[in-house]
Amino acid sequence: MSPTDRGGPPGDVVVVGPGAMGCLLAARLSLAGHSVLLLDHDPARAARLARDGLALTDPQGGARLRATVRCTTPPLEAPPELALVCVKARSTRKALAPLVGGTGTVALLQNGVGRFAAAGEFLGAPERVVGLLSTEGATLTDEGAVRHTGCGRTHVGALRPEQRSRAECVRALLASAGLEASVVDDLERAEWEKATVNAAINALCALLDCPNGALLELPTAAELADRAAAETARVARARGVDGPWTEEQAQARWRAVAQATRRNVCSALADLRRGRATEVFAINGAVARAARELGLTADTNETLDLLVAAREAQLRAR
């Protein structure tokens, strides 16, 4: 199918972004029988993906499946009924631009805090936004080739609670592709709970060039991760986010995830290895900024954000 073919039947699922998670979702949905349109900003890559399709390797590294998807570049002829947006935080506005207008659901899979609310503001329609918080593991092994490195769970929540039906539809879609998913009623709480984990793991693993579980084996690294998680919990509590936000719970949460995903390479480390900018500014940086707004400090998160930014600048200068 030509990448210039911009239309599709109303039942199309549009996946924005051919990164690891975008390719994983597009491939799994296609293999489950859904009509998938992958949206890419790069015309040459879009043409190749439209021609060659996607290759998916299962978590055990065994079966390699070929998924057929249509691929095109913006703009679309009309806003889709459902779009799964899987791009890095710095690319959010560019990815959302083709989706402005219409009434379709926009499901955003992204790390950080405040990202879903920002998407709703940009679209001018917060009622359309559904947030996805996932522990699925995926990595690109080549262009259009993705390895599903670990099965996880995806929490799905509507930005506006009265739009729960949108979240239910997205959950059902993911489940139809064999992905474990559940609907959460409080998206903000789920967002901050995941932030306590990401703030503890992502920046440190990126700086130390190690998989998640290695933090548990390095006492000084684990101490820094504990501090980052505890600061994140304090900020969430000060913001009035519902839920228990004790330091002990926050620290236990990141440690449990690090143990369960001990062999996984987090997205921040994968980005640095590819010479790309990370989402740490939207995780640790966002926690530090939120703390300052409340008259608090989050020194560990701020330092981790600055260290990763320095590493990114170093890589750009090469």
Q: In what order do the strands lie in the sheet with 54-57?
A: 64-67, 54-57, 145-150, 137-142
Out of 194, 234, 255, 289, pick the active-site residue: 194
- Is the pLDDT at 10 greater than 70, yes or no? no
Output phi, psi for 280, to 5 deg: -60, -35
CATH code at position 60: 3.40.50.720
CB 156 within 8 A of CB 130: yes
What percentage of the chain reaches a pLDDT higher than 70?
A: 96
Q: Given 185, 211, 234, which residue is the final one in a domain? A: 185
Instruction: Clarify whether residues 199 and 275 are in a common domain.
Output: yes
Tokens of 221: 């690294």
Residue 220: what pLDDT? 98
Instruction: Clarify whether residues 181 and 194 are in a common domain.
Output: no
Instruction: Clarify whether residues 47 and 65 are in a common domain.
Output: yes
Instruction: Clarify whether residues 26 and 39 are in a common domain.
Output: yes
Number of domains in the chain: 2
Domain that holds residue 53: 13-185
Alpha-carbon gap, residue 225 to 219, rounded angstroms:
10
Residue 61: what pLDDT? 65
Instruction: Clarify whether residues 143 and 215 are in a common domain.
Output: no
Highest mean pLDDT among 7-16, 182-191, 260-269 belongs to 182-191
- Is the pLDDT at 72 greater than 80, yes or no? yes
Sign for the pseudo-dihedral over CA of 169, 236, 248, 278: positive
* Residue 260 domain-assigned (yes or no): yes
Q: Given 163, 185, 207, which residue is the final one in a domain? A: 185
Instruction: Clarify whether residues 20 and 162 are in a common domain.
Output: yes
Bridge partners of 27, per DSSP, are none
Instruction: Clarify whether residues 138 and 25 are in a common domain.
Output: yes
Residue 6: what pLDDT? 42
Instruction: Clarify whether residues 167 and 254 are in a common domain.
Output: no
Helix H segments across the chain?
20-31, 43-52, 92-96, 115-123, 164-176, 187-208, 214-217, 219-238, 247-260, 267-273, 280-293, 299-316
- The string of pLDDT tens digits covering residues 38-56 is 999 999 999 999 999 999 9
* Residue 108 domain-assigned (yes or no): yes
Alpha-carbon gap, residue 278 to 188, rounded angstroms:
22
- Is the pLDDT at 209 greater than 90, yes or no? yes
CATH code at position 212: 1.10.1040.10
Instruction: Clarify whether residues 196 and 179 are in a common domain.
Output: no
CA distances (Å), origin 295, targets 213, 234, 289: 33, 12, 10
Residue 229: what pLDDT? 98
Instruction: Clarify whether residues 196 and 150 are in a common domain.
Output: no
Instruction: Classify residue 33 as left (phi > 0), alpha (psi -120 to 50) or beta.
Output: left
Q: Given 185, 213, 241, which residue is the final one in a domain? A: 185
DSSP string, 151-178: ---EEEEESSGGGHHHHHHHHHHHHHTT
Identify whether 194 is a catalytic site residue: yes
Using pLDDT thresholds of 50, 70 and 90, give the confidence band for residue 5.
very low
Using pLDDT thresholds of 50, 70 and 90, give the confidence band for residue 236.
very high
- Is the pLDDT at 302 greater than 70, yes or no? yes
Instruction: Clarify whether residues 146 and 232 are in a common domain.
Output: no
Least confident of 2-16, 163-177, 300-314: 2-16
Q: Give me the mean pLDDT over the 92-108 stretch.
A: 94
Q: Give me the mean pLDDT over the 68-85 stretch.
A: 92
Residue 4: what pLDDT? 34
* Residue 293 domain-assigned (yes or no): yes
Instruction: Clarify whether residues 58 and 159 are in a common domain.
Output: yes
The answer for residues whose C-beta is within 8 angstroms of residue 275's C-beta and 6 or more apart is 315, 316, 318
pTM: 0.90
* Residue 2 domain-assigned (yes or no): no
Residue 283: what pLDDT? 97
